[in-house]
Copies of this chain bind each other. A is one copy, B any other.
Amino acid sequence: MTIKLYGFGESGHSYKVALMMRLAQIDFDLRFVDFFKGEARSPEFAALNPMGECPVFVDGDLTLTQSGVILDHLAKQTGQFGGQSEAEAREVLRWTLWDNHKFSSQIGMTRFLMNFLPEDKRPAEVIAFTQARIKAAYKVLDTQLASHTWVAGGEGPTIADLSCCAYLFYPEPFGFHRADWTNIDRWLSNIEALDGWQHPYDLMPRAFPVQA
């Protein structure tokens, strides 16, 4: 039975998982979630994921949510992208948690406020505040990548790279200028050069703007 992935183009968290499966050459069937029409808040979706979030990963009887859990599961199943040692696996988890706490979470929200809300509803003070916080996070990531090719510090890419990079490939403005961050820029180019890499909007259909 083919794996089902519930997600949509704009969801960076869905992209993390879709990209992992593309790189690991795992077939999956994308179930489009019409997010901006409120589908993730529907009772049907709540039955699938009470957290009300994409992605949701369904493989037969196994249903998983939270991109970090799905990535960890896929790394264990495929033996790929999980790191080469116990120490590297800990680094993978460390950066995945950091990404969830300080990076993708803040970027996803800021990008939403700046691009997917009507112009007159965009909270300027909140946007300025979160942009300043994300800037501190770019610096942490860029510093790590100044002395390491990959985020978790090993020989090859891991799910920590897939987690941290996802939102940085989107075209909508949220305050990130790739050219400003030399090490992040080189690292993103290395990810784009991986066999099978695809841009989020080539991998999953977009839900915005809302279709009538």
Which A residues contact B (CB, under 8 angstroms)?
50-52, 64-66, 68-69, 72-73, 90, 93-94, 96-98, 100-102, 104-105, 123, 125-126, 129, 140, 143-144
| Chain A interface mostly | helix
**Complex Cα gap A119–B138 (Å):** 29
- Nearest CB of B to A69, in Å: 5
Report the Cα distance A72→B92, complex, angstroms: 13
Determine the chain B residues whose CB is within 8 A of the CB of A143 once the complex forms.
Answer: 50
| Contact, CB under 8 Å: A140 / B51 | yes
Neighbour of A97 across the interface among B50, B97, B129, B144, CB < 8 A: B97
**Residues in B neighbouring A51, C-beta threshold 8 A:** 98, 102, 140
User: Out of B52, B129, B140, which one reaches A52, CB within 8 Å?
Assistant: B140
| CB contact between A125 and one of B97, B105, B126 (< 8 Å): that residue | B126
Residue contact A93 to B68, C-beta cutoff 8 Å? yes
In the complex, the answer to whether A93 meets B105 with C-beta atoms within 8 Å is no
